[in-house]
Structure 1
Amino acid sequence: MRDTAFAKDASKICTGHGPDNMATLRNLAINTLRAAGHQNIAAGLRHASYEPFTRPPDLLGIV
């Protein structure tokens, strides 16, 4: 899932703690979308990107 939805294989982050940190952020995004009821992660990412300044904070409960 990370390979297709987040283009993990194309990532240029490959040194230090970068890969681990990005994996944590990708997992956070996937789990947040699942908790919000999205079955399809790619569709959930598209839905969140339609209003990038309001929908992601709403998913996380940040006001």
Structure 2
Amino acid sequence: MTFTEDASKIRAGRGPENMATLRNFAITTLRDAGHRSIAAGLRETSYAPFTRPLDLLDLA
């Protein structure tokens, strides 16, 4: 429950499916970057929230 899906307020329309897609994308990106633990990968990424996610995607 790293992304606290149970506490999500998104319940209508295609919102839940879209959020699941984004979560899976984030998990795949962290795994491709070599992180074994998603929680640890999110913590490391959050240290520099405006540059680190772009580095993971090779956009910076």
Q: Would you say how many aligned residue pairs link Structure 1 and Structure 2?
A: 60
1:41 and 2:38 correspond: yes
Q: 1:21 aligns with which of 10, 13, 18?
A: 18
In the TM superposition, what whole-angstrom CA distance separates every residue of 1:2-60 from its partner, at most 9, and x where no partner exists?
xx100000000000010000000000000000000000000000000000001000001
The residue type equivalent to 1:7 in the other structure is T
The residue type equivalent to 1:14 in the other structure is R
Aligned-partner Cα distance in 1 for 2:20–2:33: 20
CA RMSD of superposed structures (Å): 0.5
Q: Higher helix share goes to which structure?
A: 1
Poorly superposed stretches of 4+, deviation over 3 Å? none
After TM superposition, the score normalised by the length of structure 2 is 0.97
Aligned-partner Cα distance in 1 for 2:38–2:10: 22
